[in-house]
Amino acid sequence: MVDTEFHLSPIVAGAWRLAEWQLSVEQRIAWIEGTIERGLTSFDHADIYGGYQVEALFGEALAASPGLRERLQLVTKCGIKLTGAARPSHESHCYDTSPAHIVASVENSLRALRTDRIDLLLIHRPDALMDADEVAASFERLRRDGKVLHFGASNFAPAPFELLNDRIRLQTNQVECSPLQMAPIHDGTFDQAQRLRARPMIWSPLAGGRLFSEDSPAAHRVRWVMGEIGARWGGVSATTLAMAWLLRLPCRPHPVIGSRRLGVAEEAMAALGLRLSSDDWYRIWAAAAGHEVA
């Protein structure tokens, strides 16, 4: 029986690099199973990932391992059109939230993922031509047909999110946030999420790896402070601390990690048992901002 209640795992597994990993079907199954065993049961996709190839690679693994689909939640996105051989009908790289494109994208994703339903569908980017009534009607149709269970947005500022949420209940807004990208903390995005009780998803919570490698004053300051805090906590890794810093936010976000290494999943999940004090949280904030709070 399909569970129609909305839920995501505390940390979400991002599949956007799956094509780059060049894994066999057996290796993909092992990665999915290993990720689930570590508590990450939700998998984040988008139709365009890997040049429209990632969903099919993931779906091939699901088809080869009966029963695996019922152990996980599938998140995917639509609304960006890329040109190329995978979509010869696309005339230009643009956004498209028309009913025809949304429905066609979902049908393509269902076929690629080898599934009868998507647990959560997001509009990938805000579209200046988005008609909220039309999008809501498309969503209602997809839900009525059992093809999509829940809906949300990705990379939306508060105003367009408010507009679409006024027409149909949105479960999340997936945005970029890390100690090196703190805009959603201050621009109203996370305040809105808390007000609407729509827990955000966070992409690039480790700043795409820049948190560990970027040669900038902010990155150096953050690494130094996190190293000091981690040592005080008995050698907690920077990955765990970065996740704990995000999980401390009252909007209760779901960070999305995209690593082949299962050890990263373990380090991310370890953050669930670490609650930063407000002093330590603001020490990391101040290191990133380059100044203390006013």
Q: Angle 87-88-93 (CA atoms, 0-180°, nearest 5)? A: 65
**168 burial type by CB count under 10 A (0-12 exposed, 13-18 middle, 19+ buried):** middle
Catalytic pick from 49, 52, 95, 282? Answer: 49
State the Cα–Cα distance between residues 230 and 235, nearest whole angstrom: 5
95 is catalytic: no
State the Cα–Cα distance between residues 165 and 186, nearest whole angstrom: 21
**90 burial type by CB count under 10 A (0-12 exposed, 13-18 middle, 19+ buried):** middle
Token pair, residue 240, equals 């765990």
Active-site positions? Answer: 49
